[in-house]
Amino acid sequence: MQLDGHIQALRDDLARLAALGDEATARAAELLAVALEPALTRRVQEVLAEAALELTSQLGRSRVEVRLTGGEPELVVVPEEADEPAPAAEAFSARITLRLPESLKARIEAAAAREGVSVNTWLVQALQRAVEPRRPSAGSRSRLSGYGRS
């Protein structure tokens, strides 16, 4: 993803707006554009990081990362590694009774069928994912995860 082109487009937009004023206004806009470039780049990267978090919440067994390659961000889908099976002593030894709406039950059955597992296995996996700590928290939206390569 080439951020330079988008940042240049914002600078051009600012210059066009400043052209409505006098020469001093145009010069002030030019100086502001140069000064704002690092902040604009950072803000765009923050938007990408938020988009990655939002997309990750919609993916089942994958996550989206923002990676910097040669200084340019890219969105990458990373499949999660297979969950380790529960230890034999712990495997399915507890029981609960769960009441849920029929429409939700049907959606769970469909999701389990798509993944080729039983409803019980699908629910256990979904609950395990739900209680595991999330990598990026809502408070760390300004942080990028991943790696950079040049």
DSSP character for 73? E
Residue whose entry in the numeric block shows the structure tokens 């069928």: 113
| Residue ranges per structural domain of the chain | 3-149
3-state secondary structure of 131: helix
Contact 73, 66 (CB under 8 A): yes
**Length of the chain measured in residues:** 150
Q: 3-state class of 25 per DSSP?
A: helix
- The answer to whether residues 41 and 3 touch, using CB atoms and an 8 Å cutoff, is yes
pLDDT in tens, the chain (150 residues): 677 788 888 888 888 888 888 989 888 988 888 888 888 888 888 888 888 888 887 887 788 888 877 777 888 888 876 555 555 545 566 778 888 888 898 888 888 888 887 888 888 888 888 887 766 544 545 555 665 555
pTM higher than 0.85 = no
List phi, psi (to 5°) of 72: -105, 135
* Long-range contacts from 111-115, C-beta under 8 angstroms, 24+ separation: 115/60
Cβ pair 76, 67 in contact under 8 A: yes
Q: Which ranges of the chain does DSSP label H, i.e. alpha helix?
A: 3-18, 23-58, 102-115, 119-131
